[in-house]
Each structure stands twice: as structure tokens, then as C-alpha cells.
Amino acid sequence: MENRNNVTEFILLGFSKNKKVQILCFLFFLLCYLAIWLGNLIIMASITCSQLINQPMYFFLNYLALSDLLYTSTVTPKLMTDLLTENKVISYKNCMTQLFTTHFFGGVEVFIITGMAYDRYVAICKPLHYAILMNRQRCNSILRASCAGGFLHSLGLFLLTIFLPFCGPNEIDHYFCDVYPLLKLACIDTHKIGFLVIANSGLMGLVIFVVLMASYFMILYNVRAYSAENRHKALSTCSSHITVVILFFAPVIFVYIRPATTLPEDKVFTLFYTIIVPMLNPLIYTLRNTEMKNAIRKVWCTEWFWKGKPMI
């Protein structure tokens, strides 16, 4: 425990030491962060201020947008600040806090996506029981379970890391405090701890990914008997969900399914589920969703804006 106190702060190496590259990265991430806030706030306001909030799918989408905002905010502001400063330092306490909050909100997002997949499975494969199985009480229970699952996932990684001794060096080859880069700096053999991380993050991500894809394949199998219009609507919704699942889980599995090692590619893959996916989610869930687009028009496109023209 005394050795751990030898390191009171860490240095985040980030992406590059080149000033021009850092400025370009800052502008890119600034645009991404603004797009994340704008897109997800529009979705949240459009759902909350319309009748869509009463539908389970949009109930979950509303909280997915909120988790996107909280999740990316644990990483992106610090990343942008470091790109403009020479002193890319984070204290030990803030590092552990970032580790916990990042995995907590990331875990919540994973389980909300799982809840959305279950909702679509019930809606398409068990339509006669949908109103009973997906009532508001059940939706609230799924949301609470998502928060509990995210907390347990994050707590596990936090406890595996908080008791590690750090006696130098203190340079983290990443843009935020994550478990594998921290294991690399520990002063003890972390081989066994690495396998626990794989079980906590890698295998969990892989199992959930397989379950989600299996559920969507079952949905696609069942929609064959639907009418052309209903089949198109179901396929449009499921294709959006499948896109999010692949973009989110593929990088997660790549980073966490292997033993406790870090690769240069990890930073790029991590960007997908910490910044890129939260930025793309609003587009993915609205571009092919007629109900969502209509809600956005009704909430944001007023008659004054359209100069008296009737809204479609």
C-alpha cells in the first residue's frame, strides 16, 4: 500500500506529441462533442415532449441518449483539454474516478441496448403479449437492472485496480484512465488480474453481443410472414439496432477479450465506443425511423418556422 502512494498522479500520453496534429484532433473532437450534445438533446426533447415517451422502444432510446451524453462526458472534455495543454496530468484520485464512471455509464449503455433488443423481440415475435410483457413497470425494472448491471461491472474493475501498487513510471499510453494501461504500470504481476478483466469485460461483451445478434436473427426469421409494409418497418428498425450493436461491441471485444496487453490500435478502437457511437446514435435511430422524424418535426419545426405552411 505504501508503494502505491509513490505515484500521486499520472501522465496521459494521448494520441500524438505533434502540435499540429493535436490542434487538428482538438477541432475534430470538439465538433464530435458538440454533435453528441446536439443530437442526443434533440432526441431526448423530441421523445419527452411527444407521445413517443409512452412507447417502450422510445422510452429506452431516451435513456440511451442520456447515457451517451454522460458516458462520453467522462472522457471527451479531459481529452480536449489535454490536447491544448502541455501538462497532461491527471491525479490518482481523478484517474480512479474516471475509470469507475466510464465503465459505469458504458455498462449502463450496454444493458439499455440489450433492453431495446428484448423490446423489439417481444414486439415482433410475441405481438399479442407485447402490451403485457412491456408495460411501464417492466420498462422501469429493465432500466433499474441496467443501472445495477453497470454499477456491478464498474465496481468489479474498480476493485481490481484500486488496490494495485504503482511505484513508477506513471505515463499512461492512452487518452483516459482505462484498466489495461493501468495494469501495465502496476508494480506486481497482473497476469491473474488480467484474466478477471477478460471475464468482467471481454467475455461479458462477447456473450451479450452473441445474444443480441441471435435475437435479431430470430426477429428477421419471424418477419418473413409479415406483410410487405410491416416487414419493411421491422427491418428498418432492426437494421438500425444491429448497426449500433456492431459499432459498439466489435471494438469492445477487440480491446478486452485478449490478455492484459495494450496495442497502439486500442486508442482508435476505443474512440468508436466512447465518442463515435454516441455521435452516430442520433443519426442511426432517426434517419430510417419515420415516427422519430415526425416527432422531431412536431417538436422543433413550429408553424412560425415554416411560415404558416402545414407540417407533414
The model's pLDDT over 252-291, given as tens digits with 9 standing for 90+, comes to 999 998 877 777 788 889 999 999 999 999 888 887 778 8
Element (H, E) at 230: helix 228-256
Average pLDDT over residues 302-307: 46
Residue with cell 416527432: 295
The model's pLDDT over 96-136, given as tens digits with 9 standing for 90+, comes to 999 999 999 999 999 999 999 999 899 888 888 899 999 99
For the 17-293 domain, the top CATH level (class) is mainly alpha
How many other C-beta atoms lie within 10 A of the C-beta of residue 295? 24
Do the Cβ atoms of 154 and 110 come closer than 8 Å?
A: no
Closest CA to 252 of 280, 218, 276: 276
Cell of 279: 455521435
Kindly report the pTM of this predicted structure.
0.89
Average pLDDT in the chain: 87
The model's pLDDT over 130-170, given as tens digits with 9 standing for 90+, comes to 999 999 999 999 999 999 999 999 999 999 999 888 887 88
Confidence bin at 5 (pLDDT 50/70/90) = low
Distances (CA, A) of 203 to 31, 209, 214, 260: 33, 10, 16, 14
φ, ψ (nearest 5 deg) of residue 256: -105, -5
Cell of 237: 428498425
Q: Where are the domains of the chain?
A: 17-293
Top-confidence residue, 29 or 7: 29
Residue 304 has pLDDT above 70, yes or no: no
Cell of 244: 449500433
